[in-house]
Amino acid sequence: MTMTDKFGALDVPGTKHDNFSVLFHHRQQDWHLRMMLATEFFAGWSKCLSRKIGAVIVEDKTIISTGYNGPPRGVPECHTKQRIEQILSANPSLRHTPEGERLRLSDGTKCPRQILGYDSGQWLDLCPAGHAEANAVANASRIGIRLTGADMYCWCPLPCQECSKMIIGSGLARVFYIATGIDYDPNSRWMLMNAGVSLIGITKELIEKYRQEQQ
């Protein structure tokens, strides 16, 4: 079944969800591709040892908020000794295990969850980081910026369900994301589409082509 939202964006199950080229003529694409490169830039600010994600919120061709995945302000990052000690203190049973010893001796270059043998998405309670999309919304809220009707650009596939809730609640109108053909959380697309948020997928190939054209 194919769903069409109020902006005319198509949701086509089983495809890469790349509707960007259909919705925008070549001359209209430049700005959006530039903003996707901006999300990649802010993703580089993340100190996450697992993955680096960035988000940019734009209104009237003006960047009004940015975010990258990481813990709240003032909370030690996972590469710090403070964070490692906190994990061991909160989980004392780890201290006398081979995994706990590897964590204690870690040099801050590998995600603690990976050191403990967990796959991506497992034991998320151990991770203090907020997602880039949620942090971008929070940063706007911190200084009183209204997001109703604005666009969000994400250096990642379709946002997760929790970030989607914040996107819907904050009144964002469109989400531009990297089209991969696989949604991190299938519920996100259903929620966003039903809430009237336009979903616009852009392939990395198109972004890379634009990058090369600008050099």
* Alpha-carbon span 8 to 2, nearest angstrom: 12
Residue 72 CA to residue 92 CA, distance in Å, equals 24
Q: Would residue 40 show up in a list of annotated catalytic residues for this protein?
A: no
Catalytic option among 85, 99, 133, 213: 133
Residues with Cβ within 8 Å of 39's Cβ and at least 6 positions away in sequence, in order, are 54, 55, 56, 132, 153, 154, 155
Contact by Cβ (8 Å): 152, 176: yes
Helices (H), 68-180: 81-90, 98-104, 112-115, 132-142, 161-170
Q: Could you identify the residue written with the tokens 């490692």?
A: 84
For residue 124, what is the DSSP state?
G
CA angle 110, 113, 117 (to 5 degrees): 100
Q: Report the candidate in 16, 10, 53, 11 with the shortest Cα–Cα distance to residue 182.
A: 16
Pair 147, 176: CB distance under 8 Å: no
Q: What are phi and psi of 175, to 5 degrees?
A: -125, 120
Active site residues: 133
